[in-house]
Chain A
Amino acid sequence: MFYREAGQFKTSYSEYLQAFPLREDKIGMAIWLALAVFYVPFFGLPGLEYTFALNAIMIPVAIFTITALGLNILVGYTGQISLGTGAFMGVGAYACYKLTTYFPDVNIIVIILASGFVSAAVGALFGLPSLRIKGFYLVVATLAAQFFLEWCFIRVEWLYNYNPSGAIEVPQREIFGIVVTGASAEPATRYLVCLGILILLTIVAGNLVRGRIGRSWMMIRDMDIAAELIGVRPLRAKLSAFAVSSYYCGVSGALMVFLWLGAAEVESFDVNHSFLYLFMVIFGGLGSITGSYMGAAFIWTFPILLKELGKRLFDIDPIIMENVSLVAIGILIVFILIKEPHGLARLWQLGKQKLRIWPFAH
């Protein structure tokens, strides 16, 4: 009785094609948005210490949701497997660093959004093999990108301004007098910037996937030969997927270094991270924007919460809990692949359908 479509009629196609056609969904979205924008920056999360809630959970979740959106575009919507996500994030981070080194007075948000384009170009380049190579074999190509770029991050000293430690140190940057990056930047500020960029990029992703470009991606994913016979140019479709996906990864990489970690080494962009992001997308749901949100939030937060629980309830060493969470995530992945290969997003959808007809059973 709470989730009713009855009575909500659409009188035009444009109304029908909205992102959230149902009034209940619109209200739900508004609530989430209000909580994210007005509650969290002031109060953090219930039950957790404020700085911890923001620094360890909300900020990285916001950033990784952007990554997951990007990876989902490539893997979920276009069907091209990639294990190079970590490295593409690195490209964005290093690009941001170099750009802000050369243009220290330019608004850092502009720089971050610009560094995405560098990542997009690199992504498109490494995406070229996808025209000849399909399926698993593409994993090898993306691994080539991953390991080659990792090597570049160490060897090309220009990238980290010849810093002897090999790491990037994030300089302080301000917008309208508020410190946004660097050691004195407030968690709430950093969180809101990340959230703002996340919301913007979500809207863009939603627009793309509902339009002709998103459809061309899905056509390639489902049956590329039929797609070509309908008129889709595989080159354009695949490269645009790689480019857009890498843009998102690049921006999230820049955000990760500049607004979360404050510094970065090559390890932040290694192949283990590439796997982590793939987990987020698989778990959340391939080919789903909601899924990207859910997957990122869950895969990131679950180990942390598990560690907290272990510490508070049973006083277990965090390292043991770390291993437990690795095992747990592995089991959950296998479990969800068996029970619902389309991930949390599909479970959520099914839940909403049940809610539509509640309290009736069918």
Chain B
Amino acid sequence: MGNLLYSIFGDPFAQMWQMPDFFIQVIWEGFVSGILYALIALGFVLIFKASGIFNFAQGIMVVFSGLTLVGLHELGVPAFIALIITLAVMYALAFVIERLVLRNLVNQPDIILFMATIGITNILIGGGQWMFGGETKTMITSELLIPTGSSVWEPGGGLVIFQHIDIAAAVIAALLIVSLALFFSKTKVGRALRAVADDHQASLSVGISLNQIWVITWFAAGIVALVAGIMWGARSDVSFSLQIIALKALPVLVLGGFTSVPGAIVGGLIIGIGEKLFEIYWGPLFGSGVEGWFAYVIALVFLLFRPQGLFGDKIIERV
């Protein structure tokens, strides 16, 4: 019994203390995956804020956009042209989804819309596999000017390795988040998006075209998905299993609230870092693979005590 208590409450912290460089490495790894979770979650938040829809297809959009980029490049298209074409494809996708799906499901309850996005997920998986094949692909990095290689830090004789690509991912993600924040607060379209997020009827009455806003929102989510796809793919290849990893964005949203951009970031970091720490330091107690469920269990515990997340809106039930 004493042994067990120590291995839960003592040993892991002892290890952290004894090997601080490894601890920093773990934190860094968790930080980076946290940023990427946050990026994926950001896509969800964008769409949820503007249309109240939980876009289950966000995960597959990450994969699909990455695949499109790599696929085009494999056909011989130069990297940056391929990037532009992919962006155009994501726009077209947003347009088609708004036209064919969203417009026809306008007044339906949330669960119907959610299930429609599951249907869209299927279409994108099948379509993606059909067009690009099911094998894993390597993301193009140097062509996009994404640095590879690594820097080494040796604090006090220890060793911490920072992959340049991770640093690039963090920086790009930060830039993206800042530009989105500026977009929302400073531009006309951004303001319209916020209005729509607040109240559909009211925004209609001041002349905002809901349909246009939805296309823009889904396109923005598409851009975010593409960035996430590139970054994630660069770190660990592009394959359809990435779609399941994208499900991890759900616990992130639970922590951060479904409607909060800062929440998605904070939630992502908490999940990313927490998951890594748990796997490395407490994992041996359980056996490997705890990363698969840790985030969800944390989210579950959170939901029991604070259903609206850290930053989300409190749900009030009135009769």
Contacts and interface: CB of A to CB of B under 8 A. Distances in A.
Interface in B116-136: 116, 118-127, 129-130, 134
B126 A324 contact: yes
B304 A330 contact: no
B254 A137 contact: yes
Interface string B133-153: 010000000000000000000
Residue in A139, A141, A271, A330 whose Cβ sees the most chain B Cβ within 10 Å: A330
B261 interface: no
B303 A337 contact: no
B54 interface: yes
Contacts of A327: 122-123, 126-127, 130
Interface stretch (B202-210, B212-220, B244-252): B244-252
Contact of B290 (A140, A151, A225): A151
B250 to A, nearest CB: 5
A81 B111 contact: yes
Interface in A305-328: 319-320, 323-328
A337 B292 contact: no
Given A144-B293, A151-B289, A327-B122, A136 B303 contact: no
B317 to A, nearest CB: 6
B92 interface: no
Nearest to B244: A271
B198 interface: no
B307 interface: yes
A133 B302 CA distance: 10
Contact of A129 (B289, B292, B303): B303
B174 interface: no
A337 B254 CA distance: 26
Contacts of A147: 292-293, 296
Interface string B53-69: 01000000000000000
A328 B122 CA distance: 9
A316 B317 CA distance: 55
Nearest to B113: A337
Interface string A103-144: 000000000000000000000000001001101110111011
A140 B126 contact: no
A327 B124 CA distance: 7
Contact of B250 (A143, A151, A328, A333): A143
A141 B130 contact: no
B296 A144 contact: yes
A260 to B, nearest CB: 24
Interface residues of B, number: 46
A154 interface: yes
Contacts of B120: 330, 334
Given A140-B250, A225-B317, A155 B119 contact: no
A143 B292 CA distance: 10
B300 interface: yes
Interface in B292-319: 292-293, 296-297, 299-300, 303-304, 307, 317, 319
B108 interface: yes
B286 interface: yes
A103 B256 CA distance: 49
Contacts of B101: 334, 338
Contact of B129 (A155, A275, A323): A323
A323 B130 contact: yes
Given A136-B114, A155-B289, A325-B126, A330 B247 contact: no
Contacts of A150: 292-293
Contacts of A330: 119-126
Given A148-B297, A150-B292, A334-B119, A140 B127 contact: no
A112 to B, nearest CB: 28
A57 interface: no
A225 B318 CA distance: 9
Given A137-B254, A143-B250, 7 more contacts: A140-B251, A147-B293, A148-B297, A323-B129, A330-B120, A337-B108, A338-B101
5 contacts: A151-B292, A278-B115, A330-B119, A338-B105, A341-B112
Interface of B: 54, 100-101, 104-105, 108, 110-112, 114-116, 118-127, 129-130, 134, 244, 247, 250-251, 254, 258, 286-287, 289-290, 292-293, 296-297, 299-300, 303-304, 307, 317, 319
